[in-house]
Amino acid sequence: MTGQAVSKRISYLGPEASFTHLAATKVFPNSTLVPFTTIPECIEAVAEGSVDYAVVPLENALEGSVPLTVDYLFHEAQLYVTAEVLSSIQQHLLVHPENRDAESFEAIYSHPHALAQCHKFLYYTYKNTPLEQYSSTAAAAKMVSELPERNIAAIGNEFSAHKYGLDILQRDIHDFHFNHTRFFVLSKSDHKLTDPSHDDQIKTTLMITPPDDDRSGVLHQMLSVFAWRRLNLSKIESRPLKTGLGDYFFIADVLADENETMMRGAFEELAALGCTVKTLGSYYTYKS
Amino acid sequence: MTGQAVSKRISYLGPEASFTHLAATKVFPNSTLVPFTTIPECIEAVAEGSVDYAVVPLENALEGSVPLTVDYLFHEAQLYVTAEVLSSIQQHLLVHPENRDAESFEAIYSHPHALAQCHKFLYYTYKNTPLEQYSSTAAAAKMVSELPERNIAAIGNEFSAHKYGLDILQRDIHDFHFNHTRFFVLSKSDHKLTDPSHDDQIKTTLMITPPDDDRSGVLHQMLSVFAWRRLNLSKIESRPLKTGLGDYFFIADVLADENETMMRGAFEELAALGCTVKTLGSYYTYKS
């Protein structure tokens, strides 16, 4: 149990009231949270030591792309995952209080991914209303709060509604109700942040680069290493190495601690197969 | 060889001069190209028959996220991949011709992913210049073209520079030089678009849902089905099913035609293992 002290500084992918901000407040309710414009800036802030932790989206994110985080961790940074945060994504239709009785709008503003996540709602309820792209859900909410004379709406989270004094005209307008975003909490030192309510399932994230020859066979061999030991993978994904087309590495989440006997055996065999393994550490899950 | 007729209508993820627009012109130089705001809108346009093909980003994209395309194809649409387009992503620093001699800028505008892709260049060359997020690289270029009196720059592609009459102050400012974006060309009918210069490597994209029990073992068995037949996978990725945490399906690219004997055998064995297989079809690659 560390990292909860008041004096800690945390970088997160901004702007304020973003989904990443919401995830960061879950893990660090009493720390100084510093927004950054891009994922590499967030990650470098912790690598350089100007903050203690970075909170960045990893999967299914609204504000940034998964590949950016994965690739930056693989190519550029030597950091550890100290926790992950799983947040359910809830999108609401937000309006200025003066327009709360409106039945139609000039336009609806949001981040392109948020507009896409609410596609069916928008299609059936506001079919002829123009959809306008904005750089983030929080920025769209801010704009709506500043222009009460325009009859416009934003799509965003509850945090944005509170921050910018907007009314929630309709709740939970996203199409898929089991839609989660996954965030990593990164640090320079390899340790675990724990949550009093965590469910005890530990996870380890590995980045595995196969040897140059016969990649298809190696993937099958790699999985054999885990399968016969009953080490469960909750995720596996191939990513281009960026050294040329057709060169890949794998990111895998294993439901075990990296220090378990079976995991140490797996690391040895992966090395014997010619694979290079970079571990991002073992960590618990915060849910919000 | 189909789909090149002048009368075809093509939806793409806009706005105009986006990287997806550039990819669409590569495959359909003489067709009517129609921009849409979101990936689901692009895909539904072809599903409903208002256009003949949709061009959407799949991997490592700037304008949209991979999961949106993959998940929409899995959950919502019954469409086929008729071609893929691989584009190298080249980012340039764009300025209004009146500001071509500027050595510093008030601010640099672009899509958050483009700002992130040029992180090192910006860090070393314009360390103290504010970075401002915009909804797309093309929209940022348009804004710079409309405000010559402000000493600002945009990051975007060559297409945007031409379209909005901007000068390219510095070329190729992206950090990774083997950075490609992959696009799918979707249709309601299962056929192949070919390019006179294609390199003959056919690819088939499969979406495989394992049976409910013992997922880890099944992934290993699934890969055995391909491995002993020497069917090479160029990509594999697990994606949440959205029916609850921990439920996954897999998207796999196999370097073979779905009608080959070995592939038909693989489909039969996957079914025998309890897997559900949805094929998106076999297709060739356009490079740009």
Tens-digit pLDDT profile for residues A35-69: 998 889 999 999 999 999 999 988 765 555 667 78
Q: Is the distance from CB of B16 to CB of B163 less than 8 angstroms? A: yes
Name residues 206-235 of chain B within 8 A of A (Cβ). Answer: 215-217, 219-220, 223-224, 226-227, 230-235
Q: Of B156, B187, B218, which one is at a domain's C-terminal end?
A: B187
* Averaged confidence pLDDT in chain B: 88
What is the percent of chain A where pLDDT is above 70?
Answer: 91
Could you say which of A112, A116, A237 has the minimum Cβ distance to residue B237?
A: A237
Tens-digit pLDDT profile for residues B175-195: 887 777 889 999 999 999 986
Residue in the block written with tokens 């370097």: B255
For residue A38, the chain B residues in CB contact (below 8 A) are 112, 115-116, 119, 131
| DSSP label at residue A98 | G
- Taking CA–CA distances from B67, the nearest residue in chain A reads A60
Domain-located, residue A193:
no
Separation of CA B214 from chain center: 33
Residues A283 and A245 in one domain: yes
Nearest chain A CA: its distance from B232 CA (Å): 5
- For residue B2, what pLDDT is reported? 47
Domain-located, residue B1:
no
For residue B230, the chain A residues in CB contact (below 8 A) are 216
Nearest chain B CA: its distance from A174 CA (Å): 13
How far is it, in rounded angstroms, from Cα A269 to Cα A142? 53
Residues B101 and B62 in one domain: no
Q: How confident is the model at residue B216 (pLDDT cuts 50, 70, 90)?
A: low
Could you say which of B176, B231, B243 has the minimum Cβ distance to residue A178?
A: B243
Residue A5 has pLDDT above 60, yes or no: no
How far is it, in rounded angstroms, from Cα A109 to Cα A247? 39
- For residue B5, what pLDDT is reported? 47
Name residues 95-124 of chain B within 8 A of A (Cβ). Answer: 111-113, 115-117, 119, 123
Residues B33 and B69 in one domain: yes
Q: How confident is the model at residue A6 (pLDDT cuts 50, 70, 90)?
A: low
Q: Is the distance from CB of B20 to CB of B10 less than 8 angstroms? A: no
For residue B39, the chain A residues in CB contact (below 8 A) are 116
Q: How confident is the model at residue B197 (pLDDT cuts 50, 70, 90)?
A: low
Determine the average pLDDT of the residues in A252-275.
Answer: 95
Nearest in space to A56 (alpha carbons), one of A30, A32, A82: A82
Return the amino acid letter for B33: L
Q: Is the distance from CB of B148 to CB of B99 less than 8 angstroms? A: yes
Nearest chain A CA: its distance from B214 CA (Å): 9
- For residue B187, what pLDDT is reported? 97
- Taking CA–CA distances from B38, the nearest residue in chain A reads A116
Nearest chain B CA: its distance from A5 CA (Å): 30
Return the amino acid letter for A233: L
ipTM above 0.85, yes or no: no
Tens-digit pLDDT profile for residues A141-154: 999 999 999 999 99
Q: How confident is the model at residue B215 (pLDDT cuts 50, 70, 90)?
A: low
Could you say which of A39, A233, A248 has the minimum Cβ distance to residue B216?
A: A233
Number of domains comprising chain B: 3
**Residue predicted with more confidence, A43 or B200:** A43
Could you say which of A64, A86, A113 has the minimum Cβ distance to residue B68?
A: A113
Q: Using the CB atoms, write b or e for B7-40: b if 16+ within 10 Å.
A: ebbbbbbbbbbbbbbbbbbbbbeebebbbbbbbb
Cross-chain Cβ contact B133/A135 below 8 Å: yes
Q: How confident is the model at residue B1 (pLDDT cuts 50, 70, 90)?
A: very low
Residues B156 and B116 in one domain: yes
Nearest chain A CA: its distance from B223 CA (Å): 6
Contacts of B184 (CB under 8 A, 6+ apart): B55, B56, B58, B69, B81, B83, B84, B280
Domain-located, residue B193:
no
Separation of CA A282 from chain center: 17
Residues A74 and A99 in one domain: no
B4: which 2 tokens? Answer: 């090149």
Cross-chain Cβ contact A237/B238 below 8 Å: yes
A236: which 2 tokens? Answer: 């596996």
- For residue A62, what pLDDT is reported? 59
Q: What is the CATH number of the domain that holds A220?
A: 3.30.70.260
Domain-located, residue B140:
yes
Residues A134 and A71 in one domain: no
Residues B15 and B132 in one domain: no
Determine the average pLDDT of the residues in A195-208.
Answer: 81
Q: How confident is the model at residue B32 (pLDDT cuts 50, 70, 90)?
A: very high
| DSSP label at residue A135 | S
Q: What is the CATH number of the domain that holds B104?
A: 3.40.190.10
Q: How confident is the model at residue A70 (pLDDT cuts 50, 70, 90)?
A: confident
Nearest chain A CA: its distance from B280 CA (Å): 19
Cross-chain Cβ contact B136/A133 below 8 Å: yes
For residue B64, the chain A residues in CB contact (below 8 A) are 112-113, 116
* Averaged confidence pLDDT in chain A: 88
Domain that includes residue B25, residue range: 9-89+179-187
Tens-digit pLDDT profile for residues A145-184: 999 999 999 999 999 999 999 999 999 999 887 777 889 9
Burial class (CB in 10 A: 0-12, 13-18, 19+), B211: exposed
Q: Is the distance from CB of A66 to CB of A59 less than 8 angstroms? A: yes
A129 shares contact with chain B (CB less than 8 Å): no
